[in-house]
Amino acid sequence: MTEPILSDEQELIRQYILLGILFRAVMADLGQMQTVPLKLSYQILFDELSRWAERQHHQLRRVLRQRGCTVVSSQRQGHVYVVLYRQHGYVREAIYTIEVLRAECHELVHLWTRYEQRGENR
């Protein structure tokens, strides 16, 4: 079985959704961590990761708009995440598996952490 070929806009939509999910997940995790007293404060790490994901998310939205593409709606439906987007006047649907998005978010956090350690994100 071969994978479908994704257009540039479809890949940008996927990254846009992924970064939006990451931003919201980091904020939710930070909120939960603040209810439990910890020996160390990880808030600065969460704040930096959240800001980075949010900046990337907004940057991708601008790029998509310049290419005539906007996200109309996105929502979780059971085990999938359904996204409707308008591309050059046509409404299209993209469906992503929650487990895959979660794994990709973990990978993004890992990559961000490595870049931060090297000081490349500044």
Q: Is the pLDDT of residue 120 over 70?
A: no
User: CB count, 10 Å around CB of 72?
Assistant: 11
Q: What is the pLDDT of residue 39?
A: 67
pTM, whole model, 2 decimals?
0.80
Q: Between vectors from CA 7 to CA 76 and to CA 59, what angle results, nearest 5°? A: 65
Q: Check: CB of residue 72 under 8 Å from CB of residue 16.
A: no
Q: Between vectors from CA 85 to CA 81 and to CA 91, what angle results, nearest 5°? A: 120
Task: Mark 15-39 as b/e (b = at least 16 C-beta within 10 Å).
Answer: bbbbbbbbbebbbeebeeeeeeeee
Q: Which residues, including other chains, have CB under 8 Å from residue 33's CB and lie 6 or more apart?
A: 42, 43, 46
Span 38-75, pLDDT tens digits? 666 777 888 889 999 999 999 999 999 999 999 999 99
Span 13-30, pLDDT tens digits? 999 999 999 999 988 888
Instruction: Quote the percentage of the chain above a pLDDT of 70.
Output: 89
